[in-house]
């Protein structure tokens, strides 16, 4: 069965709705925990054999319609020379945070020849997947990467980031422009090596007001999508808690918009650009509910998504939680396929 992902993102009719899950590879899978044991996260991300195996694990187990490249948004920063580590249970920690104009200017650029392993990993994965299952590449959006660099690690309130944004807007803009180039290069390498779609994650954009997002962030995310236009592959723009930002984010230039679980898909449908497909948006916490309670919620999202005529991809409204029962995502895949095929055949 050929994956309906790329046709759905092009707005074409499909026989059923495509489904994949953010963080489908990772700690919810026992086979992942086994393979990762003893290897630091960022070392695993630079090992093509591990990367290809981990990327394929959820495809085999859940029967999803796409693989997402196993990597991390901070991999290109590390490759460029930033001292960063992923601390388990916490997230990326930066040894020397960037807060001044001089520190921004000293941040190195990323060159494609610094990440030959990424091209090799993508080549291995696409060879294994064959033509039937597409590989989705990804990168962090400039604002989310900037927050890690400025705060020095995960932040609850992003206060240092916002302070720099309003007190030194030129320095902030220079940093985001540089991060846009780094993410573009990271994605360009993935797409040149065979990834057939990509998602830009702006996980922390939802902490911004719409005014600040439009004044300080939007143009830099747009620059990423613009720089990759020549690949002619579909793209998805996603952020958490971005209901208020959805129409602004939808103008950055992506093919589709990812919707967080707090937003009703019918509302999201009115906020994006005409002809723009939606992706989303089952609450990842609901995967802990008994199947009898979960199945109707899956069906409801499929029905709402299919009412959005521009195209729909089923996903969660954020990543799979680490303690999720690894049997549940596959049941959701089957249910999405069954319900959508019924609706589309009627
Ligand atoms: O399956 C997939 O979706 C692909 C892999 C993927 C990872 N990180 C692997 C990972 C993707 C797409 C990401 C993106 C990423 N990384 C984002 C954006 C998406 C989002 O969730 O909002 C962010 C903010 C990061 C930064 C990051 N990396 C965090 C916050 C963490 C969690 C730290 C923890 O231990 O809780 C990581 C580590 C990470 N990235 C893991 C995985 C599978 C866990 C590593 C482990 O196994 O210990």
Which domains occur in the chain, in start order? 5-345 (3.20.20.210)
Question: With b meaning 16 or more CB within 10 Å and e meaning fewer, what string describes 93-113?
Answer: bbeeebbeeeebeebeebeee
| pLDDT of the residue at 154 | 96
Query: Which residue's alpha carbon is at the smallest distance from atom 13 of ligand 1?
Result: 72
What is the Cα gyration radius of the chain? 19
Ligand 1: nearest atom to the Cα of 33: 47
| 282, containing H or E segment | strand 278-282
Mutate to test the pocket of ligand 1, among 31, 32, 73, 142 (most ligand atoms within 8 A of CB): 73
Is residue 1 predicted with pLDDT exceeding 90?
Answer: no
User: Would you say the CB of residue 311 lies under 6 angstroms from ligand 1?
Assistant: no
User: Would you say the CB of residue 141 lies under 6 angstroms from ligand 1?
Assistant: no
Task: Choose the catalytic residue: 65, 72, 202, 260.
Answer: 72
Rounded Cα–Cα distance for residues 126 and 130 (Å): 6
Cis, bond preceding 254 (omega within 30 deg of 0): no
pTM higher than the cut 0.80: yes
Is residue 268 predicted with pLDDT exceeding 80?
Answer: yes
Judge whether 148 counts as a catalytic residue. Answer: yes
290-311 tens-digit pLDDT: 999 999 999 999 999 999 999 9
User: Would you say the CB of residue 239 lies under 6 angstroms from ligand 1?
Assistant: no
Ligand 1: nearest atom to the Cα of 26: 43
| pLDDT of the residue at 227 | 98
User: Would you say the CB of residue 59 lies under 6 angstroms from ligand 1?
Assistant: no
| pLDDT of the residue at 72 | 98
DSSP 146-166: HHHHHHSS--SS-HHHHHHHH
Rounded Cα–Cα distance for residues 200 and 141 (Å): 6
| pLDDT of the residue at 250 | 98
93-132 tens-digit pLDDT: 999 999 999 999 999 999 999 999 999 999 999 999 999 9
| pLDDT of the residue at 101 | 98
Ligand 1 mean position, distance from CA 14 (Å): 31
Residue 72 annotated as binding site: yes
Kindly state the DSSP code that residue 207 receives in the 8-state scheme.
G
Q: Indicate if ipTM > 0.85.
A: yes
Residue 71 annotated as binding site: no
User: Would you say the CB of residue 26 lies under 6 angstroms from ligand 1?
Assistant: yes
In percent, the amount of the chain with pLDDT more than 70 equals 100
């Amino acid at each position: 069965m050929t994956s309906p992902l790329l046709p759905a993102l092009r707005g074409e009719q499909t026989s059923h709705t495509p489904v994949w899950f953010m963080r489908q590879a990772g700690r919810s899978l026992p086979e992942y925990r086994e393979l990762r044991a003893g290897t630091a996260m960022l070392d695993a991300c630079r090992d093509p054999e591990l990367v290809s195996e981990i990327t394929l694990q959820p495809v085999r187990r859940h029967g999803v319609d796409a693989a997402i490249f196993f990597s991390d948004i901070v991999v290109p920063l590390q490759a460029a020379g930033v001292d960063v580590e992923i601390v388990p249970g916490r997230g990326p920690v930066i040894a020397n945070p960037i807060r001044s104009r001089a520190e921004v200017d000293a941040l190195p650029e990323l060159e494609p020849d610094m990440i030959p392993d990424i091209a090799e990993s993508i080549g291995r994965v696409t060879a294994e997947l064959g033509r039937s299952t597409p590989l989705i590449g990804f990168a962090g959006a400039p604002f989310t990467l900037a927050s890690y660099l400025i705060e020095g690690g995960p932040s609850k309130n992003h206060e240092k980031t916002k302070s720099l944004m309003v007190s030194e807007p030129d320095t902030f803009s220079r940093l985001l422009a540089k991060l846009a180039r780094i993410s573009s290069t990271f994605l360009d390498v993935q797409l040149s090596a065979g990834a057939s779609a990509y998602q830009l994650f702006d996980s922390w954009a939802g902490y911004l007001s719409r005014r600040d997002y439009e004044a300080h962030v939007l143009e830099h995310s747009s620059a990423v999508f613009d720089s990759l236009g020549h690949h002619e592959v579909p793209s998805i723009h996603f952020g958490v808690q971005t209901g208020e930002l959805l129409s602004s984010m939808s103008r950055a230039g992506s093919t589709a918009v990812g919707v967080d679980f707090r937003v009703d898909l019918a509302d999201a449908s009115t906020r994006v650009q005409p002809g723009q497909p939606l992706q989303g948006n089952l609450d990842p916490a609901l995967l802990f509910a008994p199947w009898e309670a979960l199945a109707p919620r899956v069906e409801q999202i499929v029905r709402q998504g299919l009412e959005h005529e521009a195209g729909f991809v089923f996903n969660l409204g954020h990543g799979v939680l680490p303690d999720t029962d690894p049997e549940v995502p596959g049941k959701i895949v089957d249910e999405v396929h069954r319900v959508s095929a019924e609706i589309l055949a009627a």
